[in-house]
């Protein structure tokens, strides 16, 4: 039987598409790093950059979509959990936007233009500066990336907790 309670409180179709494609783009961008590190092949770092910039554009569109569409009412949960969920979600948005910007700045301050799938190139729009390139490199790999891993694991852990312990069918809202 169709449960109207659940279907009524689903995320909008656009929000669901934005959510899952962001997750896939994150996975693909990261996989390119694994291929690059294991095969020592410059081709994959090029793809890493192009997918990372794609994720940046996707996240900007996602934020606009989030502001234009209505979020479903929260499922009942203690106040501290609702607050933690909001903070984690906000953190993920901020991190997934800051990460590719740091990557882009690392590249251009290093004097390297960024090729986007052979379609066009983002030119070096700043005066190259080794120490700034190093700073954004450290930010990209040493600070924002560990934060993305932490927030994503917390997020997936919370989703699994709702699914298997609370059994409140939360994941169905995003499916
Ligand atoms: C959300 C998008 C992105 C994610 C999740 C991401 C993730 C990562 C990760 C996990 C690493 C390896 C870190 C390590 O060595 O431990 C890395 C390295 C790197 N990323 Fe990204 N990245 C993103 C976007 C970008 C963009 C847009 C660019 C450039 C236009 C870029 C350029 C690089 C470069 C050049 C490296 C190698 C740095 C080095 O070997 O020191 N990344 N990235
Ligand atoms: C197995 C993987 C995942 C599952 C099961 C999952 C599940 C969910 C669910 C059920 C919600 C809605 C929560 C609610 O209705 O209150 C949600 C929201 C969200 N998820 Fe995920 N998610 C996953 C992966 C990811 C990944 C990889 C990211 C990004 C790194 C992400 C970012 C977000 C964000 C930012 C929101 C908040 C949406 C908003 O407020 O606009 N999720 N996720």
At 127-152, the pLDDT tens digits run 999 999 999 999 999 999 999 999 99
Termini Cα distance of the chain: 18
Closest residue by Cα to atom 13, ligand 1, is 141
CATH classification of the domain holding 93: 1.20.950
Structural domains in the chain (count): 1
- 6 falls in which pLDDT band (50, 70, 90)? very low
Q: What is the DSSP letter of 122?
A: E
**How close is the Cα of 102 to the center of ligand 1, in Å?**
9
CA distances from 42 to 33, 92, 93, 115 (A): 10, 28, 29, 12
Taking only the tens place, the pLDDT of each residue in 24-62 is 999 999 999 999 999 978 899 999 999 999 999 999 999
DSSP state of 142: I
What confidence tier does 7 reach under pLDDT thresholds 50, 70, 90?
very low
pLDDT of residue 8: 55
Q: Ligand 1 pocket, 93 CB below 6 A? A: no
- What's the mean per-residue pLDDT of the chain? 94
Our answer on whether the CB atom of 170 is closer than 6 Å to any ligand 2 atom is: yes
Alpha carbon separation from 90 to 74, 86, 95, 99 (Å, rounded): 15, 6, 9, 14
Residue nearest to atom 25 of ligand 2 (CA): 23
Residue 11 has pLDDT above 60, yes or no: yes
**Containing domain of residue 155, as a range?**
4-174
């Amino acid at each position: 039987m169709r449960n109207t309670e659940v279907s009524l409180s689903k995320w909008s179709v656009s929000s669901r598409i934005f959510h899952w494609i962001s997750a896939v783009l994150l996975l693909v961008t990261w996989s390119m790093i694994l291929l690059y590190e294991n095969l020592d092949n410059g081709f994959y770092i090029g793809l890493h950059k192009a997918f990372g910039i794609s994720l940046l554009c996707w996240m900007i569109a996602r934020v606009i979509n989030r502001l234009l569409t209505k979020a479903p009412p929260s499922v009942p949960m203690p106040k501290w959990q609702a607050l933690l969920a909001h903070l984690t979600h906000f953190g993920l948005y901020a991190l997934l936007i800051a990460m590719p910007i740091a990557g882009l700045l690392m590249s251009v301050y290093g004097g390297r233009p960024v090729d986007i799938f052979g379609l066009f190139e983002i030119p070096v729009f700043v005066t190259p500066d080794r120490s700034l390139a190093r700073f954004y490199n450290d930010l990209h790999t040493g600070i924002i990336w560990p934060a993305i891993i932490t927030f994503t694991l917390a997020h997936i852990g919370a989703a699994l907790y709702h699914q298997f312990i609370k059994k409140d069918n939360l994941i169905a809202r995003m499916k």
